[in-house]
Amino acid sequence: MSTPNLFKPFKLGRDLQLQHRVVMAPMSRFRADDNHVPADYSVQYYGERSRVPGTLLITEATEIADESGGFPNAAGIYTEEQQNAWAKIVAAVHENNSFIFSQQFAEGRIANPGQLAKTGHVVVSAGSIPLTGLPEPHMLTIPELNKYKEYFVAAAKAAISIGFDGVELHYANGYLMNQFLEKVSNNRTDKYGGSPENHLRFPLEVIDAVSEAIGEDRLAVRISPWDDFQEMSRGAENDTYKYFIETLAERHPKLAYLHVIESRVLGGRDRDLDPEKEMNNDEFLALWSPRPYISTGGHTRESGIKVAEKHDNVLVAYARQFLANPDLPTRFKKNLALNKYDRNTFYGGGKNGYITYPFATEATESLAN
């Protein structure tokens, strides 16, 4: 019986030779300290999940600047102390002959006002539309947008300087860059709002600047067209996303990959539907193909095998399964039972539920076995 594509090698980005197409999806875990420095034991967390050689890992969402944040204990990459902590994590992953991208973001209107106030900052957004129950955000001015662009460039350059294999810009799940893309969060009347072209302008400017700084083949982008998490449009603005992908393919055809969340996942919860029959990403995939494309959101072993078999340019990212199974690629290939994840330990806390999930006794460290 032939080996499914999901377990076959794949070349990605700047000559990264993956040994399989099972990717660790980005997952916020909130284990950093009060200065947004990743915990010492995060080295073990990422190291364990890179033990199968040739695995691609994408980090938790990482703040690009003090004022871009607003989540307690979210990791940052804008201070020397934070960068030194990440360098240890990167070294652990590379020691296992695996690869790691830094996912980077700004929170925008979903940030915690009280947390930002501690450092003299306020909640900002693409527009002035607040989330339900929260104060109206400050609409970023043109000079402030230029400053944020500089933050993204600096964070990306820092990531590459400490050894990351690439950077994934987080344009999904209702965070700041996602807020520019959609009318539900962007009510600007200048060149960054109104028409679909204007909604794309700042997100594309950031991609242009980061690409120039670190190289197109070290850069990736993540989007969530179907999401209603944090009061986004739930698929109502998919024409804008199609235009975004078309434009991205024209301007940056050598991006490492495009990462698209499936419709079956809404933020942290699942939606009961069959993406093969409704609300699927087929049009987005077609627009981006034959370039590398990561599909994520509610995949099982079976659905991952199926989509990778159908599309030779598709990798499949897993979050909860990888969280609970550090040897997930081997478990999938050998069809071994999975550890059950514990939602109570997803966010915050310490080592429990973070570096306490066991490896399968039957598993080996290499898919070659």
User: Region 350-360: what's the mean pLDDT?
Assistant: 97
CA distance to 101, 168, 291, 309, per residue, from 156 (Å): 10, 9, 22, 33
Specify the residue for token string 């028409």.
Answer: 195
Residues 298, 281: Cα–Cα separation, whole Å? 14
Q: Could you give the 3-state DSSP secondary structure of residue 315?
A: strand
| Res 368: pLDDT | 47
| Least confident residue range of 129-138, 193-202, 230-239, 259-268 | 230-239
Residue 230 has pLDDT above 50, yes or no: yes
Rg (CA), the chain: 19
Nearest to 171 by CA among 113, 219, 133, 127: 219
Nearest to 261 by CA among 8, 58, 89, 29: 58
Q: Please report which confidence band the pLDDT of residue 134 belongs to, taking 50, 70 and 90 as the band edges.
A: confident
User: Per-residue pLDDT tens for 149-160?
Assistant: 999 999 999 999
User: Per-residue pLDDT tens for 28-55?
Assistant: 999 999 999 999 999 999 999 999 999 9
User: Per-residue pLDDT tens for 161-187?
Assistant: 999 999 999 999 999 999 999 999 999
- For residues 237 and 290, the model is more confident at 290
Backbone angles phi, psi at 114, to 5 degrees: -65, -40
Residues 308, 142: Cα–Cα separation, whole Å? 42
| Res 9: pLDDT | 98
| Res 361: pLDDT | 78
Specify the residue for token string 């794949």.
Answer: 10
**365 Cβ partners below 8 Å, 6+ apart?**
51, 52, 53, 327, 330
Residue 364 has pLDDT above 80, yes or no: no
Residue 205 has pLDDT above 70, yes or no: yes
| Res 47: pLDDT | 99
Q: Which residues lie across from 265 on neighbouring strands?
A: 270
Determine how β-strand 265-266 pairs with β-strand 269-270: antiparallel
Active-site residue set = 175
What single string gives the DSSP state of each residue in 81-103?
HHHHHHHHHHHHHHHTT-EEEEE
| Res 235: pLDDT | 55
| Res 231: pLDDT | 58
**361 Cβ partners below 8 Å, 6+ apart?**
none
pTM of the model: 0.94
User: Per-residue pLDDT tens for 307-350?
Assistant: 999 999 999 999 999 999 999 999 999 999 999 999 999 999 99
Residues 147, 51: Cα–Cα separation, whole Å? 39
| Res 133: pLDDT | 87
Residues 145, 211: Cα–Cα separation, whole Å? 17
Residue 135 has pLDDT above 70, yes or no: yes
User: Per-residue pLDDT tens for 263-273?
Assistant: 765 545 554 55
